[in-house]
Amino acid sequence: MNELRHLMSPLDLSVEELNALMDTAEKIRSDPERYAHVCDGKILATCFYEPSTRTRLSFESAMLHMGGRTMGFASADSSSAAKGESVADTIRIISCFADICAMRHPKEGAPMVAAAHSTIPVINAGDGGHQHPTQTLTDLMTIRSLKGTLSGMTVGLCGDLKFGRTVHSLIQALLRYENVRFVMISPEELKLPGYIIEELKTKPNAGFAEITKLEEAMPMLDILYMTRVQRERFFNEEDYVRLKDFYILDKKKMRLAKEDMIVLHPLPRVNEIAVEVDQDPRAKYFEQVKYGMYIRMALILMLLRIEI
């Protein structure tokens, strides 16, 4: 019998599996018709206890594009969580109705609890300030497609590096490729958590620097990964208001960057990228969203063990 697999962190996948997923996603992108019925009869459940536009809808779009169907809830309030049902009980129920489940939860570790009680594959679609592995798959595929490689890059990560779960997952994934250098750009209060810094220190192949001024970093970057300040994770509104506009990427700052630097952002954007930057050919954050659907299609196929 095939062992049940979940995705909680990008580290659950070997580099070979990551590369194979991106290869499959590229094949789907170039020939979507071939995959239009590969999930006929399958059901994806999206259990979202926290708001989402991209992740939930791109999972649903991924399944619909492969002939499957979707069901789920978009907020804790519209599920029996509002009556006090546990995540463990909820996934036991979902396992009776669906073949695979994508779960987002404000509490770190909640999707792992679900996985421990599930009889279907569970995908972590973001857990608190911890991890967001399918955003990382999206980011890796975008970088590989647009830059041709995941090695030898200088990557600037800017904004809320403390609470930004997409940043934590992306660093861990990129650390497995050769010669990646990181420039962490954040205010003092929003620096990377210590456990990620410790991981960085153990990798002789990776270099990193922590700085405060975005302008200083711009000329050396191959990739600039902007993030919003995560209002929902702050303990008080005063701190959020003080820090929310610490970085605003605008045309003037873009003039400092290389001609072939690309700007990524997991989105949603608030103020940290001025709308005027959207017209710059190096702004790739809307293109990035489309890669997210293809890589989620590849992931669903892998976890459902559907081979084409």
Write down the catalytic residue from 83, 202, 213, 255. 83
- Beta carbon of residue 204, minimum distance to ligand CP (angstroms, whole number): 31
CB 88 within 8 A of CB 116: yes
User: Of the candidates 81, 229, 267, 302, which one interacts with ligand CP according to CB under 6 A?
Assistant: 267
Residue closer to ligand CP by CB (options 139, 222) is 139
130 an active-site residue? Answer: no
104 an active-site residue? Answer: yes
C-alpha span between 142 and 137 (Å, rounded): 9
Please count the residues of this chain forming the interface with ligand CP, following the rule CB under 6 A: 9
Angle CA 72–115–98, to nearest 5: 35
- Beta carbon of residue 81, minimum distance to ligand CP (angstroms, whole number): 18
266 binds ligand CP (CB under 6 A): yes
Residue closer to ligand CP by CB (options 114, 206) is 114
Site residues (CB under 6 A) for ligand CP, limited to 126-145 = 126, 135
CB 289 within 8 A of CB 58: yes
C-alpha span between 140 and 295 (Å, rounded): 10
User: Which three-class secondary structure state does DSSP give residue 223?
Assistant: strand
Report CA 99 to chain centroid distance, whole Å. Answer: 22
- Beta carbon of residue 104, minimum distance to ligand CP (angstroms, whole number): 7
Report CA 29 to chain centroid distance, whole Å. Answer: 19
Q: Helix 285-303 crosses helix 54-65 at what angle (to 10 degrees)?
A: 50
228 an active-site residue? Answer: no
Binding pattern for the stretch 45-74 against ligand CP, x by CB under 6 A and - elsewhere = -------xxxx-------------------
Q: Which residues bind ligand CP (CB under 6 A)?
A: 52-55, 126, 135, 266-268
